[in-house]
Amino acid sequence: MRNTISNGKVMMARKSLFQRIQIAISNYFHLVFIRWANIRNEWYFHFLMTPLIPIGLIVFLKFAGAVRTPAEALYVTAGNTIMSLIIGPMQSMSNDLALNKERRDFDFLALLPISRLQLILAYTTVSTIFTIPGMLITLFIGKLWFGFPMEFNIFVPVIMLLSALSMVGLGVMIGVNSKSIHHANIVNAIITALVTFMSPVLVQENHLPEFLRYLSKLFPTTYSAKAFRLALNGDIGRDMYLNLLILLGFTVAFLFIAVKKIDWRSN
Amino acid sequence: MYKIEHLSKSFDKGRIEANKDISFEIQEGEIFGFLGPNGAGKTTLIKQMIGLLKPDKGNIHFYDVDVLKNPQTLTSFVGYMPQKIGALRDLSVKEALEITGKLKGCKSGEVKKEVASLIEEFGLKKVEKSLLKNLSGGQSRLVAFCTCLIGNPRIIFLDEPTNDIDPVIRKLIWEKILYVNKQQRVTVVLVTHNVIEAEKILEKVAVINDAQIQYIGTVNDFKHMVSYELKATIEFSNDFENIQEICHRTDYDFHFIDNHQCSVFVKNEAELRTIMDTILYKAGFNAIEKFNLSFPTLEDAYVSLFKKEGK
């Protein structure tokens, strides 16, 4: 099944779809292991840190009197959760790749028969694994404290996973194109500020200035937060499916650009 | 096997020219070395050959594969030893070697056997559970060398393979390179400054300087280019303080290692006789303590080439 050279010609082995899937899955798990190894000695720290900011923000909003009704509480809690799910893996991806680039790790990785998508998915898996439990804790703390209705259905984890992946492609673009990890951090901070305050994630859509309501349509966070709130409310219908579909579109588009259109080779 | 045509690469918006119109070929089974001063463009060149850098101009073919269009094809055939393998820095030596083999598509059983054999051969048993990031520079390079060999590559690219490595392991590495080349027909491309050691295994060399190839050919032809046939190494007795002055008064280019030791290249026996006659006439018969005659080495040829260039 290995590629060979015969009579001065490179002969690529023909692999069935099943074999290709098998190799892709196997490579994916090996790459997950490599990424997991980076944090295996301090994993609990990452696990504890992720819910800290969303929970802290909820507590602050509660004491500041910004959250008065259970509906508002659900809005803020769900928005917070989605923000962490989207921004966390994006930042992690861009920082990882910027660091890889700085350390010239691509010199080694690029000469392995692995695909960029496998690498992206493996890196995202590790950052998401540490984000999702923290986010679930945030949701349950929010529910217990504010008493808002919350329905846990199959769409909740689907939206969480899709949200985690939605801006990872953008994270790749930042990581690959940044000059250093510090540069990547600055760009990440700008993007985080943009999506936090310019889309209806923490602030309700009707409280946003009119131009931001239009501008927010360009950010996947808008659709992710909407779909997530609808799913948590048990409001599964056309509106939720539409938001989910747009979120999927963003995910695929960013990943496509990151995998196919960006030149990862450094200069 | 490899055909490079009119390759050019510059950095910093064309301000730094790393490679300028470089063309050459590498045949299957060769041990090919790139020599040249620091910053000459050797690493940039091999990075383009394996698809890690995109050239500004030119073509690179690996057999019938256009490397610029399909760099991914190389992954099945090429082993590359980078200066460091930071991507695996949090894995242990054994984990790093095994995972490299598995990612290269080898079966788990084969990988385990190959890794065990490499660990044994290069004395890595004591550090097999240590994380790569905790190894010394030499040990890291040794692991990088081992990852490059895993998975039966058809061609290996080695960038300064013996830097920071102790003499015993260095010898093992050169022997291993020779073994994989002769026994497994693996083509070897290496960049090195260690000309003395590399001479033992190199068959063909390309000397790169100022982004261009200054010489390409067999090691023997390169040595003949020196235009000297013999190298005389002379050790003078300590009693002669003005010996350097006497030597420099001749028309030959003496290289003094210290006050009493020097070497000189001569074209033929007649020239050698002239030199000896001059020294013995002016300094007396007791002047020379030791005298050794040898053929020029690759290092001599290399130094001589750069001397001609005035570098």
Across residues B27-54, what is the average pLDDT? 92
Q: Is B147 on the interface with A (CB under 8 A)?
A: yes
**DSSP letter assigned to residue B113:** H
The 3-class secondary structure across A181-192, one letter per residue, is HHHHHHHHHHHH
- Tens of pLDDT, residue by residue over A82-112, are 888 898 899 999 999 999 888 888 888 888 9
Band the pLDDT of B309: cuts 50, 70, 90. Answer: low
Q: For B208, left (φ over 0), alpha (ψ -120 to 50), or beta?
A: beta
What is the CA angle B130-B136-B140, rounded to 5? 75
Structure tokens at B158: 């080695």
Residue B254 and residue B247 in contact, taking contact as beta carbons nearer than 8 Å = yes
**A7/B252 Cα distance (integer angstroms):** 53
**B70/A236 Cα distance (integer angstroms):** 46
The SS3 assignment for B276 reads: helix
Q: Count Cβ neighbours within 10 Å for each residue of B197-234 and write b for 16 or more, e otherwise.
A: bbbebbebbbbbbebbbbbbeebeebbebbebbbbbeb
Kind of pairing, strands B288-294 and B16-26? unpaired
Q: Is residue B220 within a helix (H) or strand (E), and if so which, with residue range?
A: helix B219-224
The answer, yes or no, to whether residue B311 has pLDDT greater than 70, is: no
pLDDT, position B257: 85
- CA-nearest residue of chain A to B88? A34
* Number of neighbours of residue B129 by Cβ within 10 angstroms: 10
pLDDT, position B226: 67
| A10: nearest CB among B53, B64, B87 | B64
The SS3 assignment for B261 reads: strand
Q: Is B105 on the interface with A (CB under 8 A)?
A: yes
Across residues A51-64, what is the average pLDDT? 80
**B160/B81 Cα distance (integer angstroms):** 9
Kind of pairing, strands B230-236 and B2-11? unpaired
Q: Is A106 on the interface with B (CB under 8 A)?
A: yes
pLDDT, position B154: 94
Highest mean pLDDT among A133-137, B211-215, B263-267: B211-215
B62: chain A residues, CB-CB within 8 Å = 10
- CA-nearest residue of chain A to B52? A265
Position with higher pLDDT, A32 vs B194: A32
| A34: nearest CB among B47, B77, B99 | B99
**B113/B107 Cα distance (integer angstroms):** 10
Task: Please answer yes or no on whether B11 and A266 come within 8 Å at the CB atom.
Answer: no
Position with higher pLDDT, A134 vs B158: B158
Strands (E), chain B: 2-11, 16-26, 31-35, 57-62, 65-66, 78-81, 155-159, 187-191, 204-209, 212-218, 230-236, 254-256, 261-266, 288-294
The answer, yes or no, to whether residue A213 has pLDDT greater than 90, is: no
* Number of neighbours of residue B297 by Cβ within 10 angstroms: 16
The answer, yes or no, to whether residue B206 has pLDDT greater than 90, is: yes
Across residues A194-204, what is the average pLDDT? 82
pLDDT, position B13: 84
| A5: nearest CB among B83, B99, B154 | B154
Task: Please answer yes or no on whether A113 and B105 come within 8 Å at the CB atom.
Answer: yes
The answer, yes or no, to whether residue B104 has pLDDT greater than 60, is: yes
B50: chain A residues, CB-CB within 8 Å = 111
**Total-model pTM:** 0.84
Across residues B58-70, what is the average pLDDT? 93
A41 Cα to chain B: minimum distance (Å): 10
Q: Is B252 on the interface with A (CB under 8 A)?
A: no
Across residues B190-197, what is the average pLDDT? 85
Task: Please answer yes or no on whether A113 and B54 come within 8 Å at the CB atom.
Answer: no
- Tens of pLDDT, residue by residue over B134-189, are 998 889 999 999 999 998 899 999 988 888 888 888 888 999 999 999 999 999 99
What is the CA angle A189-A159-A122, rounded to 5? 65
- CA-nearest residue of chain A to B81? A108
Residue B70 and residue B85 in contact, taking contact as beta carbons nearer than 8 Å = no
Band the pLDDT of A173: cuts 50, 70, 90. Answer: very high
pLDDT, position A201: 83
The answer, yes or no, to whether residue B7 has pLDDT greater than 90, is: yes
| B76: nearest CB among A3, A26, A27 | A3
The answer, yes or no, to whether residue B98 has pLDDT greater than 70, is: yes
* Contact map slice: A 27-46 vs B, CB within 8 A: 27, 30-31, 33-34, 37-38, 40
Across residues A153-172, what is the average pLDDT? 92
Q: In this predicted complex, what is the ipTM?
A: 0.84
A52 Cα to chain B: minimum distance (Å): 27
Using CA atoms of B27, B28, B30, B31 in order, give the dihedral in degrees to the nearest 10.
110
> Which residues are B191's β-sheet partners?
B34, B159
Q: Is A262 on the interface with B (CB under 8 A)?
A: no
pLDDT, position A189: 92
The proportion of chain B whose per-residue pLDDT surpasses 70, expressed as a percent, equals 97
**A84/A224 Cα distance (integer angstroms):** 12
| A108: nearest CB among B54, B64, B87 | B87
The SS3 assignment for A82 reads: helix
Q: Is A118 on the interface with B (CB under 8 A)?
A: no
**A240/B49 Cα distance (integer angstroms):** 50
Across residues B225-249, what is the average pLDDT? 79
- Tens of pLDDT, residue by residue over A110-122, are 889 999 999 999 9
Q: Is B68 on the interface with A (CB under 8 A)?
A: no
pLDDT, position A266: 59
Rg (Cα) of chain A, in Å, rounded?
20
Picking from B208, B205, B211, B209, the residue whose alpha carbon sits closest to that of residue B223 is: B205
> Which residues are A70's β-sheet partners?
none
The SS3 assignment for B29 reads: coil
Residue A64, Cβ density class (10 Å: 0-12 exposed, 13-18 middle, ≥19 buried): exposed
B63: chain A residues, CB-CB within 8 Å = 5, 8-10
Task: Please answer yes or no on whether A111 and B74 come within 8 Å at the CB atom.
Answer: yes
| B77: nearest CB among A5, A109, A263 | A5
Residue A91 and residue A72 in contact, taking contact as beta carbons nearer than 8 Å = no
Cα–Cα separations (whole angstroms), residue B262 to B85, B273, B288, B297? 43, 16, 11, 16
**A2/A261 Cα distance (integer angstroms):** 28
- Which residues are CB-neighbours of A98 under 8 A, at least 6 positions away? A174, A175, A178, A180, A181, A183, A184
Position with higher pLDDT, B193 vs B214: B214
* Contact map slice: B 122-141 vs A, CB within 8 A: none
A16 Cα to chain B: minimum distance (Å): 15
pLDDT, position B118: 95
Q: For A104, left (φ over 0), alpha (ψ -120 to 50), or beta?
A: left
**DSSP letter assigned to residue A261:** I
Crossing angle of helices B137-149 and B167-184, in 10° steps, is: 10
B82 Cα to chain A: minimum distance (Å): 7
